[in-house]
Copies of this chain bind each other. A is one copy, B any other.
Amino acid sequence: MRAEEREEIVRLPLLAACRPETADFLLRGAFVQRFPAHTNLTREGEKADFLYAVLSGSIELSAAYLDRETTIAVIGAPHTFIVAAVVLDRLYLQSARVMEPARILMLPSESVRQAMRGDAGFATAIAEEMANSYRNVAQELKNQKLRTSLERLANWLVHRDKETGGGHRFVLPYEKKILAARLGMAPEVLSRAFATLAQYDVHVDSATIIVKDWKALEKLAHPDPLIDDETI
């Protein structure tokens, strides 16, 4: 591992709070790897061999049941994924696939568990990471159970707009197909939902979204910090 890379890594929230020895120990067994788009990193049901952290690029987490499949989340830097399976030494509940070409840090799961037992700072960082993940899924569950598909889309747009600087004009970060799965609807339903949003002055030009009447969209969306804000 190169020195600059190492510096980048120890700045990750996960490692920033642990003792230098712990970081050394963890990084001895670790490696960073680049993956092209569409690489499968994990498949649900497999044993958790590594903890993954995204250094750049993005990862799609998905799950399948019978002949159905859905997207659970999309992860970007500097976040980790499938930590829970590592902490508990269990099976992955989700499959992870590279969406945008990614640089990934991989830590052997046994080292992670060992480091937790020996370093309260690291264990705390893992707990905080898990807590964040928990809250994100819990919010997503509320989103699914309490909102219609049109509301979910409207709120996703509101949220995405804030995230990209509030310019009321932005580009979808991934295919509509995947967005539909993320929002829990069939692609056709997403398409129709976008069509409906034209009434609210939301203009869609392929992957570019322009929100002309922000108030109208927000009124439809009824954003709720307890569902939509990541750090509340």
Contacts and interface: CB of A to CB of B under 8 A. Distances in A.
Interface of A: 44-45, 63-66, 68-70, 72, 83-85, 87-88, 90-91, 93-94, 116-124, 126-128, 130-135, 137-142, 144-147, 184, 222, 224, 226-227, 231-232
Contact of A140 (B120, B121, B132, B141): B141
Of A68, A124, A127, the most chain B CB neighbours within 10 A belong to: A127
B63 A128 contact: no
A63 B116 CA distance: 33
Instruction: Give this chain's copy count.
Output: 2
A222 B88 contact: no
B222 A72 contact: no
B63 A142 contact: yes
Contact of A130 (B68, B130, B184): B130
A218 to B, nearest CB: 14
A47 to B, nearest CB: 11
A72 to B, nearest CB: 6
Contacts of A85: 131, 135
Given A63-B146, A65-B227, A139 B93 contact: yes
Contact of A232 (B90, B124, B184, B226): B90
Contact residues of A: prevailing secondary structure: helix
B226 A45 contact: yes
Nearest to A142: B63
Nearest to A133: B134
Contacts of A141: 72, 137, 140-141, 144
A176 B116 CA distance: 42
A66 B123 contact: no
Contacts of A66: 146, 222
Given A116-B124, A130-B131, A146 B70 contact: yes
Nearest to A94: B138
Contact of A120 (B87, B116, B232): B116
A224 to B, nearest CB: 6
